[in-house]
Amino acid sequence: MLHEIAIRYVKGIGPQRAKLFDKLGIGTLEDLLYYFPRRYEDRTNFIPVSKLQEGSTHTIKAEVLVRGERRSFRRRGFSIVEVAVADQTGKIFCVWFNQPYLKDYFKVGQTLILYGRIERWGNRLQMNSPEFEIVSQDSDEPRPCAQGRGESLNIGRIVPIYSLPEGITQRQFRQLVKSALDEYLSQINDALPYDIRSRNNLLNLAKSLINIHFPQDPDMQKQAYERLAFEEFFLFQLPLVLRKLKKKERPGISHKVEGELVNNFISGLPFQLTLSQQKVIAEIKADMAKPITMQRLLQGDVGSGKTVVATIAGLMAIQGGYQVAFMVPTEILAKQHFEKIKGQVKEIKIALLTSSIDKNDKEKIYRQIKEGKVDLIIGTHALLEEDVQFKNLGLAVIDEQHKFGVGQRALLPKKGLNPDVLIMTATPIPRTLAITLYGDLDISVIRELPPGRGSIKTFSFTQKEESRAYSIAKAQIRQGNQAYIVYPVIEESYALDIAGAKKMYAEFKKGEFKEFRLGLIHGRLKQKEQDRIMRQFKKRELDILVSTTVLEVGIDIPNATCMIVEHAERFGLAQLHQLRGRIGRGKDESFCILISDSQTQEATRRLKAMVEYNDGFRIAEEDLKIRGPGEFFGARQSGLCELRIANPLTQMQLLKRAREEATKLLNFDPHLQARQNSLLKEKLLQRFPEYEKLMLVG
């Protein structure tokens, strides 16, 4: 098997070079063959130098006329290597900054292949820091290979370009991949069953690997890409579909979903439930009434009313005699939920469990939970401790699920006998994508915000315009409202050259906001101190709260109508949207002001999206586009790190087809015991070994 051959034993690599490959995550022969090019260059036709256009990216083949190195007058110790190259049509300069070792790479008369963006410098065109290859004297000549036909890997074809560390060149890497393919091609076994390949018009694996690395033409590269992406999606979907099938086999609790406890709570609310909330409650009610374990993901934008829905689900379980665990990521949020629900529901016994609670009080709560004297337990990770034993856990609610690892999320339901599970997230993603990526969960979505909320206006200011931001905050405070000023760090960071929350809090008190009452809150403060400051702010004893991202999750203060986010480029898009969700919770118009001097493309796109969109689903789509799926979902949590070539954003139809095929296959052969699926089972267990015990035994 290819995954059993260590990379050091592959011809041309050895122990020393294997260390370089280790940096790329290549430890086996299979890793090497699945290390795909990041782009391609069409070297069948090079662009003549005379046809190069400013602002475009081109590949040229040219000869070195002259080379040199000079020092920058502006920056001490900064070197510039400059090479003039020409073909039969014209001349262009190529420039590399602060890479003095390059001056020894180039020799007059040498032929180079260069790839880069064409820019104007004064009255001439030049390539800044282009990628390059030196063409050796014989490289244009066809060279024999194991398949018996001459070919060059670097000239006169579509050429793969890889992400490589220093110490290995593109030419060397191409040759190693080609040699490996030639030697081991006959040993490549295709795990994707023939009938699935046939139905979906997919290439076999061997042909796909050849054409993803060394495509015959653009069409074959496209077909290879589709086949390999389909395989990744298919393998990714199999465990999700298996989990869903297993769930149907698992007996659950048939809850008493109708009753006075739920009815009294809903009728006592000081507002009308939105249509979205009513729809989601009906979906949860239908699930909880069945004798099958509920596994539901509830998506909803910041402030859409997910907590009310979760409370109603909890009351459905409690009125039938079951206990409910409600796990949240922070103590501040746990206390907020505890106080709110305790004030709304007098008929049940509620307990709060966090790590900062006194040891004696904890032990008392443990006893009450074990004896069934507590109906609803709201807490943080403290709920996962071994000492927490439930008498009769019927529902586990996990809020802000992305803040917990997969292992942590799985621990809470294990404290009961197949309790129902409601997972909530304020990081919405497009529904079709959610269904496919969270395929083992049923999905509910709250699309609308409660009526009577004030609108939020978002602005993006530079550092020079910060006085405008402070003026907006002052105007809001003078009208009787409150403001947040958020920083990405606590202390001042010299490395990042950004002011910290503590330093600016001190400066604001003496200067810009000296007429107002200020508080400072951050994660390093003791919990009691955090609680004291939040109580002060809630009681309007403070006008401004200077804070770090401790505010990100769940703080609900309707009187806060202004938020200033300093160094906004340091925050992710989802994080900025979560922060913005702390304002606009009352009836008054609110203002979110992002201050940043960053001009990077990614930061600019994030700030532009924040100014343009208030809808969390639209924000999430932009975030996915900017960061890519692995970063967005958290690769270690979601398994998206397994997607080396597939992209759920651009290949949604392919992903859906892969899911349909996975469902069809597993309905027919749920344990992959059929002979034709043996290779697939082996591949799946190689990729996801944790599923062997759980799902792949008969």
3-class SS letters over 653-683: HHHHHHHHHHHHHHHHCCCCCCHHHHHHHHH
- Check whether 485 has a pLDDT greater than 70: yes
Cα dihedral 106, 112, 113, 114, rounded to 10, equals 50
- 292, 250 Cβ separation under 8 angstroms: yes
> What band does 404 get if pLDDT is binned at 50, 70 and 90?
low
- Residue appearing with tokens 């050259």: 497
Least confident of 93-102, 305-314, 485-494: 485-494
The overall longest dimension of the chain from CA atoms, in Å, is 90
Q: What is the CATH number of domain 456-613?
A: 3.40.50.300
- 349, 309 Cβ separation under 8 angstroms: no
CA geometry: angle 74, 77, 78, nearest 5 deg: 60
Structure tokens at 520: 């400072």
Same CATH topology for 260-290+305-425 and 456-613? yes
pLDDT at 628: 63
Distance from C-alpha of 204 to C-alpha of 192, rounded to nearest angstrom: 8
Structure tokens at 2: 């290819």
Structure tokens at 76: 């001490």
- Check whether 139 has a pLDDT greater than 90: no
Structure letter (DSSP) for residue 398: E
> What band does 636 get if pLDDT is binned at 50, 70 and 90?
very low
pLDDT at 637: 42
Least confident of 53-62, 266-275, 386-395, 498-507: 498-507
Give the mean model confidence (pLDDT) for residues 524-543. 87
The residues, ordered by sequence, that sit 6+ positions from 340 with a Cβ below 8 Å of its Cβ are 307, 556
| Domain ranges within the chain, ordered by starting residue | 48-135, 260-290+305-425, 456-613
Give the mean model confidence (pLDDT) for residues 441-461. 86
Structure letter (DSSP) for residue 593: E
- 3-class secondary-structure state, position 460: strand
- Residue appearing with tokens 């507002």: 271
Distance from C-alpha of 480 to C-alpha of 492, rounded to nearest angstrom: 31
pLDDT at 148: 31
pLDDT at 419: 94
- The sign of the CA dihedral 414, 416, 417, 422 is negative
> What band does 559 get if pLDDT is binned at 50, 70 and 90?
very high
Structure tokens at 304: 């859409």
Burial of 649 (0-12, 13-18, 19+ CB in 10 A): middle
Q: Which amino acid is at 628?
A: G
- Check whether 494 has a pLDDT greater than 70: no
Q: Which amino acid is at 324?
A: V
CATH architecture, domain 260-290+305-425: 3-Layer(aba) Sandwich (3.40)
Structure tokens at 186: 């006959």
- Go through the chain and tell me how many residues it has: 698
Tens-digit pLDDT profile for residues 274-329: 999 999 999 999 999 999 899 899 988 878 889 999 999 999 999 999 999 999 98
Edge-to-edge strand order for the sheet containing 442-446? 350-353, 376-379, 323-327, 393-398, 420-425, 295-300, 442-446
Tens-digit pLDDT profile for residues 236-261: 888 888 877 777 667 889 999 999 99
User: For the chain, what is the total number of helices (H) and then of strands (E)?
Assistant: 24, 21
- Check whether 163 has a pLDDT greater than 80: yes
Q: 581 versus 698: which is more confidently predicted? A: 581
- 440, 243 Cβ separation under 8 angstroms: yes
Distance from C-alpha of 384 to C-alpha of 329, rounded to nearest angstrom: 12
**15-24, 236-245, 469-478 — most confident range:** 469-478
- The sign of the CA dihedral 685, 690, 693, 698 is negative
- Residue appearing with tokens 């709060």: 352
Using alpha carbons only, how large is the chain's radius of gyration in Å? 30
Among the listed residues 420, 422, 421, 398, the one whose alpha carbon sits nearest the alpha carbon of residue 408: 398
Start-to-end Cα distance in the chain? 25
pLDDT at 142: 34
Q: Which amino acid is at 378?
A: I
Among the listed residues 315, 318, 277, 271, the one whose alpha carbon sits nearest the alpha carbon of residue 298: 277
CATH H-level, domain 48-135: superfamily:
Nucleic acid-binding proteins (2.40.50.140)
Tens-digit pLDDT profile for residues 608-618: 999 999 888 88
Classify 109 in phi/psi space as left (phi over 0), alpha (psi -120 to 50) or beta.
Answer: left
pLDDT at 502: 86
Among the listed residues 135, 127, 125, 77, the one whose alpha carbon sits nearest the alpha carbon of residue 105: 135
- Residue appearing with tokens 């469990």: 353
> What band does 160 get if pLDDT is binned at 50, 70 and 90?
very high
- Check whether 114 has a pLDDT greater than 90: no
Percent of the chain scoring above 70 in pLDDT: 88
Angle between helices 331-344 and 306-318 (to 10 degrees): 60
- Check whether 69 has a pLDDT greater than 90: no
pTM (whole model) above 0.85:
no
> What band does 566 get if pLDDT is binned at 50, 70 and 90?
very high
- Check whether 635 has a pLDDT greater than 50: no
Q: What share of the chain is helix, strand, coil (3-state, %, to 5)?
A: 45, 20, 35
Q: What are phi and psi of 236, to 5 degrees?
A: -70, -35
Separation of CA 657 from chain center: 23
Distance from C-alpha of 585 to C-alpha of 453, rounded to nearest angstrom: 6
Separation of CA 225 from chain center: 23
Structure tokens at 59: 């590949």
Distance from C-alpha of 374 to C-alpha of 366, rounded to nearest angstrom: 10
The residues, ordered by sequence, that sit 6+ positions from 492 with a Cβ below 8 Å of its Cβ are 498, 499, 500, 502, 503
- 551, 486 Cβ separation under 8 angstroms: yes
Distance from C-alpha of 32 to C-alpha of 209, rounded to nearest angstrom: 11
Distance from C-alpha of 54 to C-alpha of 385, rounded to nearest angstrom: 62
Least confident of 113-127, 198-212, 282-296, 459-473: 113-127
- 336, 555 Cβ separation under 8 angstroms: yes
Give the mean model confidence (pLDDT) for residues 478-495. 81
pLDDT at 3: 77
Mean confidence (pLDDT) of the chain: 85
Burial of 8 (0-12, 13-18, 19+ CB in 10 A): middle
Structure tokens at 443: 């999905």
pLDDT at 407: 58
- Check whether 95 has a pLDDT greater than 50: yes
Distance from C-alpha of 142 to C-alpha of 155, rounded to nearest angstrom: 9
The residues, ordered by sequence, that sit 6+ positions from 461 with a Cβ below 8 Å of its Cβ are 468, 469, 593, 594, 595, 596
Structure letter (DSSP) for residue 415: G
The residues, ordered by sequence, that sit 6+ positions from 470 with a Cβ below 8 Å of its Cβ are 512, 513, 564
- Check whether 158 has a pLDDT greater than 70: yes
Structure letter (DSSP) for residue 489: -
